[in-house]
Structure 1
Amino acid sequence: MNRSKIVAVLTGAISIILAVAYLIIVQILDFRGEMKPAPISQINQSILVADIQSSQSF
């Protein structure tokens, strides 16, 4: 086999390995179940204070 054929086979093998690894990772993440948001009580809530200026002139 010449060098270009070896590089092509090696590149194809790496591509197949990456594709199989990706599918395994997706299956593992999907197996964990439905993703639910965190309850509101566990989220740090910031209080927004707005400074409202009146449009009246004194």
Structure 2
Amino acid sequence: MERSKIVAVVTGAIALFLGIAYLVIVQFLDFRGEMLPAPQSQLVQPSVTIAQSWDNSDL
């Protein structure tokens, strides 16, 4: 076989492998069930403090 045909066959085989691997991964992730968001009650909410100064003596 010519070099270009060998490259085409190898590239096609790699593309098929990647496509099949992608489908297997998607099926596995879908098999795990519905993805639920994390419960909000267990998340730590950071507290924010805003301090404002009205000192105009520097003007």
Instruction: Sort the TM-score into its range (normalised by shorter chain).
Output: 0.7 to 0.9
**Divergent runs of 4+, >6 A:** none
User: How many percent of aligned residue pairs carry the same amino acid?
Assistant: 58
Q: TM-score, normalised by structure 1?
A: 0.81
Q: What is the number of equivalent residue pairs in this alignment?
A: 56
Q: Name the residue aligned to 1:47.
A: 47
| Cα RMSD for the two superposed structures | 1.6
Runs of 5+ in structure 2 lacking a partner? none
TM-score between the two structures when normalised by the length of structure 2:
0.80
Give unmatched runs, 5+ long, in structure 1. Answer: none
